[in-house]
Structure formats: C-alpha cells, structure tokens
Chain A
Amino acid sequence: MLKKNEIKVGDTYSEKIVEDLKRTQIVQYAGASGDYNPLHSDDKFTKEIAGYPGVFAHGMLSMGMTGKMLTNFVGDGTLKKYGVRFTNQVWPGDSLESTATIIDIKEENGETLAEIAIETKNQDGATVITGSATAKVG
C-alpha cells in the first residue's frame, strides 16, 4: 500500500510489462479468460475476413498486463477503480512499458485516496492504453 507521507502529486512508477509479446501468450489469455475471438488466434480469419495484417492481442490482455504494473505500484487489494481506453492495437512482437502518475491525493469518507493516470506505450512510443485508477493510501 502507498503511504500518505511517502507520496506526492507528480510521482511516477514505470514497468516493462511485456517484452516481444508471443502469440502463445495471446492464446494463453484466450484460454484463461474464455474470450476465443478468432481475431486473437486465427491468422487466416483475421487476414481474410477481418482485414487485419494478422492476429492481435485482446485489449483485456493489455489491460491485465497494465494492471500488473498498477498493483505492483499501489499494492494488493487497494484499488477502488481501474479503467482504460484502448487507443491502439497490440501486436505479437510488441514490447510494452506502462507508467502510473499520481495526479491527486485526497480525503474521501475518512479514507485517503490516490488518483492515478495510466499510460501504456509500445516500442515505437505509440500509446496503446490510457487510463485511470483510484487506490486507497495508508
């Protein structure tokens, strides 16, 4: 858990959340989450029917991996809110780095909360996720 007297607005935390994303990890996510959309595992379908250059990651895989950075930063069981927009697709071979920035620290109903902005970028600097979170602070 973040400590009130150890954080300030503007603090950032970054993590590399995946290096050279493998197709197999996308399949692994499909199996665990139950989302078997062929866009994520079926190259033939994705090229011939959907019109994309090949399979790409579930947005929710990128959100899940970004969530790993987030919980490593704010601690387990402290999240009140976590939300994202998917701004670009994530492809096999991509390497992603995710950053959390504290944008506000406030008191609400007797709790101290940190408001956090989230951004995940690929190896070319393109943003694939923007988001926000609210976490309890100790």
Chain B
Amino acid sequence: MSKIKMPVEKSHIMMFARSIGDANPKYYEEKDENVIAPPTFIQSSAQFDPDYFLRPKIGGDNWFGSGKEATGMKSSGSGSGGGGAAMGLHAEQHYEYHQPLKVGDVITAEVKPGKSWEKESKRAGKLKFSESVTEYRNQDGELIITATSVGVVTEKPVEN
C-alpha cells in the first residue's frame, strides 16, 4: 500500500465542500484556525496516494477510461476507495472520529485488510465483498479518524 501523506489545506476543504453542495460557512472561513472539514473530507486523501489507481497518471499510460475507444481495465485494484474496477462498487463506508482535522495537519494513513465474504444477489449475481480499515493519524501520531471501507465486485452489472 502506498504511503499517503496528506497536508490538510483550506482550499481543498473549500473545493470538497462545494462538490457536495454544502454551504456551511465553517468550510469557507478565511482564517485557518476557524476552518473545519466536512465529515467525509478524509476520503480525498486519495489525492495524496502516489499510486492511487483511480487517478490517471501523468503520461496517461494504462488509464482504463475512454479516449477514442473505451479500453476497460487491464487489472483490477483495491484500496481505501472501496470500489474501483469496471465491476467494482463501493458497498459501505464507516468513519469513527477521534479528533477534529485541522488545517495545517499532515495526515498519514495506514491501511489494514479486513474481512472478505461472498453473497448471492438477484440483481448482480455473485457478490465478493472485501473490507479495509484505514487509520488516519496526524503529525504527532495521534489517531484522528478510523475508516472502514467495504468494496464489492459484482458478477454482472447491477440491474436497475
């Protein structure tokens, strides 16, 4: 698992809050010490995972989305994002908050694999679930957030 080192930045919190349509003024404060982060902001630590497989890399090699043609996945990945591969989806996400994130914090993440299990579903065939647990700590080693993510790989696209 790649080493994540995430500086908590005011402008990043602002952009994240905009993207979830949340106008809470605490996410847009001018002074660093007045800014707080939305409860799901830590998910954007993916930005700081050098090998995150759901971000096109500079140079563009191996990206599985379409240019002229749709290319599909060359290999499936896994990670704290939960879903991912063409048939991979995010099934569950849980956060436990130990301390507030502060602008200026530098967060590191340690990912531990969790349980995996299978289930049959009428809408998507065989479902393969896998869990990962991520501990996010600040620059002083203090535990800030524990996140549990469950990804599911479906046998076929989910019927709607």
Contacts and interface: CB of A to CB of B under 8 A. Distances in A.
Contact of B95 (A35, A36, A58, A82): A82
Interface stretch (B84-92, B106-114, B131-139): B84-92
B38 A44 contact: no
A86 B21 contact: no
Given A29-B19, A42-B65, A61-B20, A35 B70 contact: no
Given A37-B83, A80-B97, A67 B91 contact: no
Contact of B20 (A29, A81, A86): A29
B44 A32 contact: yes
B46 A32 contact: no
A45 B65 CA distance: 6
Interface of B: 12, 15-16, 18-22, 24, 26, 36, 38-40, 43-44, 46-47, 49, 52, 54-56, 64-66, 70-73, 81-84, 86-87, 89-97, 100, 148, 156-158, 160
Identify the 10 closest CB pairs spanning chains A and B, nearest first.
Answer: A83-B94, A38-B65, A64-B20, A34-B47, A59-B90, A34-B46, A51-B157, A32-B19, A44-B66, A29-B19
